[in-house]
Amino acid sequence: MSDCVPQQKYFQKKETFLFLAILVVKKLKMIFNGNQLANSILQTLRVTSKIKPKLGICLVGDSPASKSYVNRKLKACQEINVDAEVFNFSENVEQDQLIKHIQQMNHDGILVQLPLPLHLNKLDIIHSIPYEKDVDCLHMHNLQRILVYGELCEMLPCTPAAVLQILDYYDVNVIGKKVTVIGRSFLVGLPLSLLLQKRNATVTVCHRETLNLDQHIMNADIVISAAGHPKLVRNVKQGAIVIDVGISQGEKKGRIVGDVDIDVVKNQASLITPVPGGVGPMTVCMLMRNLCNIWKKKQGQPVYINPKLSDAYLND
C-alpha cells in the first residue's frame, strides 16, 4: 500500500498540471493574434505575375505616427510583391497643390494618409481621388455602394473589413446578435454598422452623447469600440466578444492603448482583440486586398468576395 501512495500523488499532480495547462491554452485563445492572421492572408495575396499593381501614398507633414503607419503599408506591399511610391508634402502644403498632385497620379490605388493638418479639408481631398482607385474606400461613391451592396463590393473600408474578417475567422454568426458599436465616424463606425446590419445583426451605434453607455455595453453580445478613449470599456457581459479598434497614447510615453481595459475585460469576454497587435495588422491586410481587387478588376480577373456570405445575403 505504501508503495502506491507516492504514485497516486504523482498522477494527481500530473492531472492537475494538465488541467492548468488546458486552462492556460484556453485563456490564450481568447486573445486574438492579428499579426498571425494578417500574415496568413497576405501570403494568399502575393502577386506572382510580371505586371504588378502599384500603390501611391500621399504623406503630409512629418508626424511620427503617420510615418509609422505608412511604413507598415510599405512593408505589406513588399510582402505581397507589389510596388508602392510615397509622395511627401510639407505640413503647410496648400490644398489646391495637393489635389492637383492627386489628380495627376497614375497608380492603381491611391491613398492619403490621415489625419491631415487642420487647414486641409479632408473630404475634399478624399473626393479628389478617383473612386475606382480609392484603396481606403472612403470616397462617398464607394460608401454609397456599400449601403446598397454591402460585402459584394470589391472594395470595403479597411478597418470595418478587418473586424468582419476577425468575426469570420472565429465563425461568429451575427444574425440576431446584439452588437454595440461605439463611434460613428465614416472611417469605422458608420460603414461597420451598415455592414453588420446587412448580416442581420441588431446594431446599436453609440457616441459621445449616448446616455447610459455602460448599459448598452453590458447588453451586447458583441462590443466594437472605436472611440479613441482609454479604458472606456471596463465591463462586458460574460462571454461577450470584444473588438477594440480604438487607438490612444498610453500613460507611458510611446505606448499605444485601445478603448478596452483588457486586464479586466479579458476575464469576462470569450474573445478579445488587443491593442496593439489586434485589428491594426488586419486593417493593413485589408488595404492590400482592396489594392489587389482594384488591380484584378482592371485586368478583367475575378475579384475576392467573401466565400462565407450566405445565399440569403447574396440574393438580398
Tell me the catalytic residues: 73, 113, 136
* All cell numbers assigned to 130: 478617383
Nearest one of 241, 237, 233 to 261, comparing CA atoms: 233
In whole angstroms, give the CA distance from residue 157 to residue 76. Answer: 17
Q: HEC string of 7-75?
A: HHHHHHHHHHHHHHHHHHHHHHHCECCHHHHHHHHHHHHCCCCCCCCEEEEEEECCCHHHHHHHHHHHH
In whole angstroms, give the CA distance from residue 163 to residue 193. Answer: 11
- DSSP code string of 214-237: HHHHHH-SEEEE-S--TT-B----
* 239 contacts 256 by C-beta, under 8 angstroms: no
* 146 contacts 157 by C-beta, under 8 angstroms: yes
CB atoms within 10 A of CB 142: 22
Q: How far are the Cα atoms of 42, 121, 261 from residue 36, in angstroms, in the given order?
A: 10, 36, 23
In whole angstroms, give the CA distance from residue 34 to residue 167. Answer: 12
**For residue 191, how many C-alpha atoms fall within 13 Å in the half-sphere facing its CB?**
28
Alpha helices in the chain (DSSP H): 4-29, 34-45, 64-79, 95-104, 122-126, 140-149, 158-169, 189-198, 213-219, 262-265, 279-298, 311-314
